[in-house]
Amino acid sequence: MNLENALQLLEESNGSHLYEIFIPSIGKDIKFKPITTGQQKTISKFSVGVKSFSLKYEMLKLSLFDELKHDDDDITSSELTEIDIIAFFAGVRLNNISEPLEIKFTCGECNTSFDYKIDLEKIIERCSKYNHLEFDFAFDVNGNKYELAIADPSYRNLIELEEYVEQMRISMDYNDDDITELRAFTKPCLYIKTVKYNGSDIDGFSRAGFVDKLKLYNSLPPKITFNGAKSILSLILDEFDLEASTNMMGEIKCTNPLCLNKLEGVLTNDSFFII
């Protein structure tokens, strides 16, 4: 058997051994092909090497979904929410890599290191129970009628937010506190999916870049009453869990088996391909 034949057989084998991952936003299982060593190597290299926001790395994570997806008609990577991404990566890790996902801790009390095993099935279960919200509402201000559709943002939208935040960090020389505040008060604009003004759609809003969407969001009148909320900002903050991804991952709380010191850590979607 020559190399070309071997590669063809491997490709055919990968295409026939499928597994399913539940995608929460559409409420159904999607079939995926196995990840290859080359794909694992590429994404692992980025997950270890990236110390700050990297557009290339974020787009690489999205492209992995399209590469592994077996069917073309269910959902594309541009439509995935952050919870979908977490469920996808946890499912890929669980179904493709035999060794458990472990996070290394170094104890400040006795200076020893130990590994903590992550329960991937529990993460997948939490994601499957997440309730993706979507609703429409209308309000009148100064004789003008506004109609908004609000829903969980796509992961692609969140990438645009981080790209904007990184640009502001560089151009405005923001410190970490400035960035945290900027992100917290800017993220709600991503939840606005469509806008109508006096009955007319705002053409191109859904396709607009993040900066243009932010300009429109900042120009909307805040005075609304809906579900007890008194402003657009408070409505989004009340209805949606802006820290949902952290809640899906779960806080890491463990005890050093040697000195019994209690430690805490954070798991992100960059952690799934740590090797």
Q: Is 211 within 8 Å of 158 (Cβ atoms)?
A: no
Asked if residues 103 and 118 have their Cβ atoms less than 8 Å apart, the reply is yes
CA 163 to chain CA mean position, Å: 14
- Containing domain of residue 123, as a range? 3-128+267-273
Measured from the Cβ of residue 25, the count of other Cβ atoms closer than 10 Å reads 20
Residue 262 domain flag: no
Is 256 contained in some domain?
Answer: no
Q: Residue 51 has what pLDDT?
A: 65
Considering only residues 17 and 125, tell me which one the structure prediction assigns the higher pLDDT. Answer: 125
pTM: 0.87
The closest alpha carbon to 241, from 192, 193, 188, belongs to 188
**Are 61 and 102 in the same domain?**
yes
Q: What is the mean pLDDT of the chain?
A: 86
Residue of 88 and 202 predicted with greater confidence: 88
- Asked if 7 and 106 sit in the same domain, the reply is yes
148: left (phi over 0), alpha (psi -120 to 50) or beta: beta
Do 81 and 112 lie in a common domain? Answer: yes
Tell me, yes or no, whether 251 lies in a domain: no
Q: Are residues 16 and 110 in the same domain?
A: yes
At 76-89, the pLDDT tens digits run 999 999 999 999 99
- Same domain (yes/no): 142, 228: yes
Whether 195 maps to a domain, the answer reads yes
**Does residue 253 lie within any of the structural domains?**
no
Domain match, 27 and 57 both: yes
Residue 67, Cβ neighbours under 10 Å: how many? Answer: 13
pLDDT tens string 133-186:
888 888 888 889 989 899 999 999 999 999 999 999 899 989 989 999 999 889
Could you report the per-residue pLDDT of 92-142, keeping only the tens digit for each?
999 998 788 888 899 988 999 989 999 999 999 999 999 998 888 888 888
Residue with tokens 């604009």: 189
Tell me the three-class secondary structure of 133-174, residue by residue: CEEEEEEEECCEEEEEEEECCEHHHHHHHHHHHHHHHHHHCC
More confident residue, 6 or 253: 253
20 vs 38: CA distance, rounded Å = 21
Q: Count the domains in the chain.
A: 2
